[in-house]
Chains A and B, each alone.
Chain A
């Protein structure tokens, strides 16, 4: 890539890669790469109560991005594999995304009579996906946290996207029977050996489980499992939804490495203001 950049005649090329947590983690699997294995081989720090200390910023190797100098010509490329015809680049983005989705082996186990609804929502996702219109991703679509702050009876999960937080009590309390339905639900945590288990109910049925029209009911029950081994954190989640699923859906686990910069801070995510919806004129979608 560096060589390619040096060929650019006038501008400086900077490939600004995708900001999506989901995409950024794609292909990294459940700790399969060598760097993750090396991170997992390190000692696991423990809190004074003996549980693994999950605290830290998880994911990637953040570096401070220096602002370019005013007056400096710059090229920023959002990476898309293109053919020789630049005129097809918008098409190409959709096609590549659809191929990835079609190849996704782990789809939720919807009841057969609901598959038509899933397809319809998927086909019209540009008008239906709540996240398109600045609503929260919600649990579990939001995925693993970007940062964890662990206290003796409380774990705080921080997500940079849309400046989201979750507070998960670990003091053996039960679910709040009076909790209202929300996007991140009512969560309680407990330790199962060295794994933090987060049990979440009361999720609004407005959120989706994925961009492919994966809706759920307000009876969804999500169990997340966070396991730290060395400097690697694995997030696994299951979704039970007796209204829409034939069985429990086990989501594909993701493993993140501890951010190597101990001083790194999550950045504030700018506000979300959707302005494109009224101008969408076709059903083309990713």
Chain B
């Protein structure tokens, strides 16, 4: 796994960009962190938009029927400063996504980790960078 160095994320942030992330809604009001879900399917669309990037997924069950899911994450500006571009979010690929379900029961969840077929992972999460999240 190739190592990369720390990027100047803070400096970029100071430039001021994208939608005001923390000015947007509370995650607590929409997602239940006690309801984690693993979705395995094909990414059918990536919406690289403010205030949150969306990844759309077709999840096929054992009988072949398809359920459509939407998984959302940070604003595009945050992802870009982390070195991501929209083409790295798995469009057209089969992935496994760990996420937290919407409280209203919709097929909607807040992303934590995407695992790709080759085994590499993108974790996009919240936390204190001075310690590793559990």
Q: Interface on A for B, CB 8 Å cutoff?
A: 1-2, 4-5, 7-8, 10-25, 57, 59-63, 65-82, 86-91, 93-94, 97, 126, 129, 131-132, 134, 137, 146, 159-162, 211, 259, 264, 266-267, 269-277, 279-286
Contacts of B81 in A (CB 8 A): 14, 16-17, 19, 65
Query: Does B37 sit within 8 A of A, measured CB to CB?
Result: no
Asked if A276 and B25 make an inter-chain contact with CB atoms under 8 angstroms apart, the answer reads yes
A15 to B11, CA, bound (A): 11
Q: Which of B7, B72, B133 contacts A276 (CB 8 A)?
A: B72
Chain B residues packing against A (C-beta within 8 Å): 1-4, 6-31, 33-34, 47-52, 54, 70, 72, 74-85, 87-88, 102-104, 106, 108, 116, 118, 120-134
Given contacts A273-B50, A286-B26, contact A279 B102 (CB under 8 A): yes
Question: Do B52 and A131 touch (CB < 8 A)?
Answer: no
Query: Given A74-B82, A76-B84, A126-B29, do A62 and B130 touch, yes or no (CB 8 Å)?
Result: no
Interface of A is mostly: loop
**A179 to chain B: closest CB distance in Å?**
27
Q: How far is the CA of A22 from the CA of B24 in the complex (A)?
A: 13
6 interchain pairs (CB within 8 A)? Answer: A5-B129, A16-B82, A61-B8, A129-B23, A270-B50, A279-B102
4 A-B pairs with least C-beta separation: A60-B14, A21-B16, A76-B82, A20-B20
Contact partners of B24 in chain A: CB under 8 A: 132, 276
Given A25-B14, A90-B33, 12 new contacts (CB under 8 A): A2-B6, A14-B7, A17-B78, A19-B18, A20-B21, A24-B15, A65-B83, A77-B127, A131-B20, A160-B15, A279-B103, A280-B25
Please state if B78 and A78 are interface contacts (CB–CB under 8 Å): yes
Contact B132 A4 (CB under 8 A): yes
A82 touches B127 (CB 8 A): yes
Assess the B125–A78 pair: CB atoms within 8 A: yes
Q: Which residues of A contact B31 (CB under 8 A)?
A: 90
B105 to chain A, nearest CB (A): 9
Complex contacts, A73 vs chain B, CB 8 Å? 1, 120-122
* B75 CB, nearest partner CB in chain A, Å: 6
The smallest beta-carbon distance between B124 and chain A, in angstroms, is 5
Q: Which of B26, B122, B132 has the most CB of A within 10 A?
A: B26
- Give Cα A282 to B102, complex, Å: 12
Give min CB distance, B87 to chain A, whole Å.
Answer: 8
